[in-house]
Amino acid sequence: MKVMTATDVEAKLEAAIRELLDLQPKLQVLSLMRQVGVGTQDAQRGRADVVAQVATPTREQFTLVFEAKSSGEPRIARLAAGQLRALVGSTPLSYGVFTAPYVAESTRRVCLEEGIGFMDLCGNCLLAFDGVYLSVEGKPNLFRTGRGLKSLFGPKASRCVRVVLSEPDREWRVKDLATEARVSLGQAFNVKTMLLGAEFVNELGKGPGRRFRLAKPEELLLEWAANYSYTTNTLTGYYSFDDTRTLERRLAEYCRTNNITYAFTLTSGAALVAPMLRYDTAFVYIAGEQDELRTALGLKPVETGPNLMLLEPYDEDVFYGARDVGVEVRADEVPPAPAGRVVSDVQLFLDLKSYKARGEEAANFLLEQKLRPRWRQSIQSAK
């Protein structure tokens, strides 16, 4: 299916309006017109994409003004809201409605904030005017978009998302983001454009090359989590006669001694960062070959009943922001060794959110205890 233009949306809108409103016993569609001027003679008249005249239970005639766009991104909806306010402000007894091929939850929130209705070509809507309330949710997206949010979370693009989430206080330029995330300038620019379209970031200042800053960290992280699974990595199960904590300690010591890049995640990471789970299987990201580690720790590959899962990262940036957590008190070592290296809170949340064995509960605990406090502090410092 080709990408829809605003003209395509407008062309399909009349049939969609009739299909929705004709089913409402309290409404009567009197007329539908495309590209018509609205507003009183004394006010500045504007041109609306579609205007519907309807009869309501309390009025013989009420005007619905529709603005059609090819994209349902939050930023597009907010711009359309400004256009609709200008049109309905000069039109007595009228109500503005944003329309697009598909309107996602984030855009619906924008429409509520802006005091306008919405309607998409998939059958979702929220119309509240003159005592009439119509709400339809849950209809799937039937239209392909040119560059959807899913493309934000591919291996390369997600590097940019990761660094922006990891440094919520920072004001970014595209070239700085590209350098930090180790992607091309074009990739960083595309990510910035998508982040702006979804209103996950705000631009600062005026003119070309403007800086931008994270605006909605929790919404961005949750959107990423909805498009991510820890099983994207390659998992290999092992069994050891050691108990879980002893196994984790031996593994961390071996990796430190042999300069192997590693980081605990899932239950093992949560136990060190935001403990709340009981568990008997350790999870750890390992960079490079696993043969020597497996031999040194006496690990036996198994398909069922493992007590250690080694994850080969889908992208090396899972180690971005990893840190040493806690201390293991040892009399023969000064200073004491870290208890373990753990992935960043962002990566830990992503992994836990997709883990069925109480992972979502642990992810929400991490969100409440670690991530939200930092984001609140960042937002306050920006004011």
Listed in sequence order, the DSSP H helices in 198-279 are 217-226, 244-257, 266-273
Note whether 145 and 76 are within 8 A (CB): no
Residues 42, 126 share a domain:
yes
Distances (CA, A) of 81 to 49, 85, 110, 147: 13, 6, 9, 22
Q: What is the pLDDT of residues 30-45, one digit of tens each?
A: 998 887 666 544 444 5
Residues 186, 289 share a domain:
no
Pairing of strands 300-301, 94-100: unpaired
Residues 205, 122 share a domain:
no
Distances (CA, A) of 251 to 240, 339, 347, 352, 360: 11, 11, 20, 21, 26
pLDDT at 265 over 80: yes
Residues 239, 213 share a domain:
no
Mean pLDDT, residues 260-277 taken together: 90
Higher pLDDT, 73 or 357: 73
Inside any domain, residue 111: yes
Mean pLDDT, residues 207-215 taken together: 83
CATH code, domain with 164 = 1.10.10.10
Inside any domain, residue 381: no
Inside any domain, residue 70: yes
Inside any domain, residue 264: yes
Find the helix or strand (DSSP H, E) in which 64 lies.
Answer: strand 62-68
Percentage of the chain exceeding pLDDT 90: 52
Q: What is the pLDDT of residue 42?
A: 43
Q: What is the pLDDT of residue 254?
A: 94
Residues 305, 216 share a domain:
no
CB under 8 Å to 3, separation ≥6 — which residues? 70, 144, 145, 146
Burial of 138 (0-12, 13-18, 19+ CB in 10 A): exposed
Q: Taking the model in full, what pTM does it have? A: 0.72
Inside any domain, residue 379: no
User: Please, which pLDDT band fits residue 71 given cuts at 50, 70 and 90?
Assistant: confident
Q: What is the pLDDT of residue 106?
A: 85
User: Please, which pLDDT band fits residue 26 given cuts at 50, 70 and 90?
Assistant: confident
Residues 269, 197 share a domain:
no
Residues 162, 99 share a domain:
no
Mean pLDDT, residues 91-101 taken together: 91
Q: What is the pLDDT of residue 43?
A: 42
Q: What is the pLDDT of residues 142-193, one digit of tens each?
A: 876 545 567 889 889 999 999 999 999 999 999 999 999 999 999 999 999 8
Inside any domain, residue 246: yes
Residues 117, 163 share a domain:
no
* Domain enclosing residue 358, as ranges: 230-364
Residues 206, 259 share a domain:
no
Inside any domain, residue 380: no
Task: State the chain's mean pLDDT as an integer.
Answer: 86
Domains held by the chain: number: 3
In angstroms, rounded to a whole number, what is the distance separating the alpha carbons of residues 55 and 69? 26
Q: What is the pLDDT of residues 311-353, one digit of tens each?
A: 999 999 999 999 998 755 445 544 555 578 999 999 999 999 9
Residue ending a domain, among 226, 261, 291, is: 226
Inside any domain, residue 76: yes
Mean pLDDT, residues 80-85 taken together: 90
